Amino acid sequence: MSDKMISTEPATGDQIWRGKVGNVDQAMERALAAKAGWAQEAPARRMEFMRRFANQVLKHAEPFAELIARETGKPLWEARTEVEAVKNKVEISITAYAERTGMKKLDSALQGSAALRHKPHGVMAVLGPYNFPAHLPNGHIVPALIAGNVVVFKPSEKTPAVGEFLTKLFHEAEVPEDVVQCVHGAAATGKALVGHPDIDGLLFTGSAQAGIAINKKLAGDPSKIVALEMGGNNPIVVLDTPKIEDAAATIIQSAFTTAGQRCTAARRLIVPDHLYDTIVPAVTSLAERLLVDEPFAEPQPFMGTVIDNHAADVLVESRAALLEHGARDILEIKRLKEGLPFLSPGIIDTTDIDERPDIELFGPLLQVIRVKDFDEAIVEANNTRYGLSASLIGGEPGDFQHFWTEARAGIVNWNRPTNGASSAAPFGGIGLSGNHRPAAFYAADYCAYPVASTEVDQPRASIGVGLRDGDKPVRKLKDAHK
């Protein structure tokens, strides 16, 4: 097996990066040697390193964004927003660390004081995805480093150049090279890292299939912290609204931003019968106007490519499979350039499929499902093993309260897209979407563990019952069972 790796630009097919598969054992040796020193740094010192990192991101913002755009195929405007999120993650994580894992003391007079502090786990393995190859792994790395962990980071084999660039920015900020390392590789490298006996935690963003495999692998070792973010089959439900154009734009943003390659992207548009002929044509008309082009085109496109030709083929084949089972095209998803993974946005009515496949079609293909009323819409929204994001468009405050209460998802929005979650809030889902370890603001929770203490400056204790005075008991206790 070759140890060489190559990354190409989806929009052109040109080579962008060449490197070698990393050595997990060597990386772990270095991490183990570095973890004690990093953990002993004062939290304020570790935070200062992260602020230096944010400055490096700002300094290199434009070449960083250009690299993200080239390697992922996303438009430059969107790559710039990703770089901004990487920079902003630092202050958000510092605030989260203070709020979620800060030290607390409670005086208790003669009993001394009670204290709560947090300790790092040790060596944290981070597995990153390709859709946000800087922002999403960074959302694990920065909180882990602030908490005092060292990090071994494996970027997606589809976006190694971005992963390497991100790691170098930490090193340029004078974070020791052994404290955060980048190890390249595909599935075998990921498995080696997951299975390494010396990792203390595994932080993962990716597919449900890979996340389930990781969960099974580590289920027998409860000493390792595992945080999984695994995507979703997300619903967006429409009720009556006078703002049809705004509703259509919100649906388009939900389904087709990042060419549909967001874990929070809307996969299913659920529409009551009486709104179908109003909302679906409005969404279709807007989707037909979306510009799809290479990342640096002018005017800037709304969508770039999907990540590669295999992903494009899967989406086109999925559309064909849905049609065979009773679906109906509203707007056909098409390959736009031979040999390159450009796709037009697709909309397909899957109402008449008896058993709709509960899978995450990771790309610009939106399924439309007709229902009788709001109650049936909620049932359909929850008709999934996933549970990451759900949105309600239209309706009244009482409708949203009902939707919020009944929707099985970790993110529930009203008149807002399913995607674009705030880093200042927790991010995660239930079911196949996660394992109840929400990221973003709550990442601090899985990057350190709480240690409770009771403390007195001198030992003070006495035994007032149950002692003998010579051969005679001071006090006879009654049998507690009588």
Kindly state the DSSP code that residue 185 receives in the 8-state scheme. Answer: -
**Burial degree of 391 (CB within 10 A; 0-12, 13-18, 19+):** buried
Nearest to 210 by CA among 234, 226, 233: 226
Q: Which domains does the chain have, with CATH numbers?
A: 4-230+442-455 (3.40.605.10), 234-421 (3.40.309.10)
DSSP strands (E only) in 253-377: 266-272, 328-331, 335-337, 340-343, 346-349, 365-371
Cα angle, residue 411 at apex, residues 410 and 412 outer, rounded to 5°: 120
Cα(419)–Cα(411) distance, integer angstroms: 9
Tokens representing 464 are: 């007032």
Per DSSP, helices labelled H in 60-128 are 61-72, 76-101
d(CA 284, CA 345): 9
Report the alpha-carbon distance of residue 96 to residue 426 in Å, rounded.
10
CA 365, 369, 375 angle in degrees (round to 5)?
Answer: 135
Tell me the angle at which helices 374-381 and 397-406 cross, rounded to the nearest 10 degrees: 30
Provide the residue-wise pLDDT of the chain in tens; the chain has 482 residues.
Answer: 578 999 999 999 999 999 999 999 999 999 999 999 999 999 999 999 999 999 999 999 999 999 999 999 999 999 999 999 999 999 999 999 999 998 888 766 567 788 899 999 999 999 999 999 999 999 999 999 999 999 999 999 999 999 999 999 999 999 999 999 999 999 999 999 999 999 999 999 999 999 999 999 999 999 999 999 999 999 999 999 999 999 999 999 999 999 999 999 999 999 999 999 999 999 999 999 999 999 999 999 999 999 999 999 999 999 999 999 999 999 999 999 999 999 999 999 999 999 999 999 999 999 999 999 999 999 999 999 999 999 999 999 999 999 999 999 999 999 999 998 888 899 999 999 999 999 999 999 999 999 998 888 888 888 989 998 865 555 555 554 54
Beta bridge partners of 182: 153
Q: Which residues are catalytic, by number?
A: 229, 263
Tokens encoding 455: 């403390």
Task: Judge contact between 446 and 435, C-beta under 8 A.
Answer: no
Q: Are 165 and 192 in contact (CB under 8 A)?
A: no
Find the distance separating the first CA and the last CA of the chain, reported in whole Å: 74
Contacts of 79 (CB under 8 A, 6+ apart): 65, 66, 68, 69, 72, 295
